[in-house]
Amino acid sequence: MMLRIKPVEFLVENSSLELERVKNQECISEFRVLGVCGMHPDHQEALKKNRVALAKQLLLSELLEHLLEKDIITLEMREHIQARVGSFSQNVELLNLLPKRGPQAFDAFCAALRETKQAHLEHLLLSTLSGLQHVLPPLSRDYDLGPSLPVPESCPPHKQLRLSADAVELSLDNGDGPPCLQVKPCTPEFYQAHSQLAYRLKSQPRGLALVLSNVHFSGEKDLEFRSGGDVDHNTLVALFKLLGYQVHVLLDQTAQEMQEKLQNFAQMPAHRDTDSCIVALLSHGVEGGVYGVDGKVLQLQEVFRLFDNANCPSLQNKPKMFFVQACRGGAIGSLGHLLLFPAATASLAL
């Protein structure tokens, strides 16, 4: 198993983080980042002020195809919107989704309106936007140019994961444990440029993180032992701790146990006092789901439902990040994607 490191900036208040790409012959797990920062507050306000007019007047049939083409929504999101009864309900569903689709969603939505002969609605949004005043505040007083999180200092040079522009390859399975990780503070310039588009992440801890790893399987599916799963698990736990999260760990759970314990995690009172949440699921998987150790499948949409605003109000308007590492069954070369969704409620497309 080889680890290839490429530079990806991820703003967590005053930290930039590199995400790793892990490859082997049977499964490729790849981080994909959708919307590193949220929609600009002015864009959210423009949508909010024109919400009723948009909900009444939007014509979605062609518009959704444009948004799908621009990677603002996924196929699953389009189907979810179209499943709503009536055009008004469908429009409301899209308006609920747009603010969670990243900093480019507003411009892409306006372009889609223009391309579908709904320019009057684009003009409505842009007129509202021009009337909004947005002043960049000074850096918060608790911003520190030095590392705000502990950084390991005694790792052998050949195992350091440096945040460098050069791609590096390191072995993870050379018998002496996972590599040391480092979290590097972003520059003041990067912070100044991105702080207005980022979620607030100042709580201590920054949030609760759950890492669930299934390695040993039984049941009729005859799923293989996940070699190297302990390395992935330990690396994620170490990384989330370095980022200031309180980490909870679950190992070798059945599908029923996964659902029950994810629900318990979502209902933890501590979410009220923190600014974000992380859930990492590492297991075998199928399209749209992950296996429990009993060979039964837990659907990912059910996982997301446990953390939506209705079922988890303590995390409303806070970023909920889902990492899923699961090889899908099938022919040689099948892929398992590791995805990051910083949006508050996002749908996962495998």
Here the CATH number for the domain that contains residue 76 is 1.10.533.10
Question: What is the rounded CA–CA span in Å between residue 32 and residue 319?
Answer: 16
Sign of the C-alpha dihedral, residues 243, 247, 250, 251?
Answer: positive
**Which of these three, 131, 157, 190, is where a domain ends?**
131
**Which of these three, 96, 111, 131, is where a domain ends?**
131
327 tagged catalytic = yes
Number of domains making up the chain: 2
Q: Indicate whether 206 and 96 sit together in one domain.
A: no
211 and 55 Cβ atoms separated by less than 8 Å: no
Lookup: tokens for 57: 């007047």
219, part of any domain:
yes
55, part of any domain:
yes
Residue 314 vs residues 137, 269, 273, 307, 319: alpha-carbon distances, Å: 27, 8, 8, 9, 11
64, part of any domain:
yes
Residue type for position 114: R
Question: What is the rounded CA–CA span in Å between residue 75 and residue 81?
Answer: 10
Sign of the C-alpha dihedral, residues 146, 151, 157, 158?
Answer: negative
186 tagged catalytic = no
Q: Indicate whether 123 and 219 sit together in one domain.
A: no
Question: What is the rounded CA–CA span in Å between residue 78 and residue 80?
Answer: 5
Residue type for position 281: L
**Which of these three, 111, 131, 151, is where a domain ends?**
131
Lookup: tokens for 241: 């701790």
Query: How distant is the alpha carbon of residue 309 from its chain centre?
Result: 16
75, part of any domain:
yes
236, part of any domain:
yes
173 φ, ψ (degrees, to nearest 5): -120, 50
pTM of this structure: 0.49
Domain CATH number, residue 289: 3.40.50.1460
346 φ, ψ (degrees, to nearest 5): -120, 155
Q: Which of 66, 248, 284, 337 is catalytic?
A: 284
Question: What is the rounded CA–CA span in Å between residue 350 and residue 338?
Answer: 9
User: Containing domain of residue 277, as a range?
Assistant: 201-329+343-347
Nearest residue to 319 via CA among 276, 271, 272: 276
Where the chain has pLDDT below 70, the residues are: 1-38, 133-180, 328-350
Q: Which of 27, 110, 277, 327 is catalytic?
A: 327
Task: Count the residues in the chain.
Answer: 350
Q: Indicate whether 116 and 218 sit together in one domain.
A: no
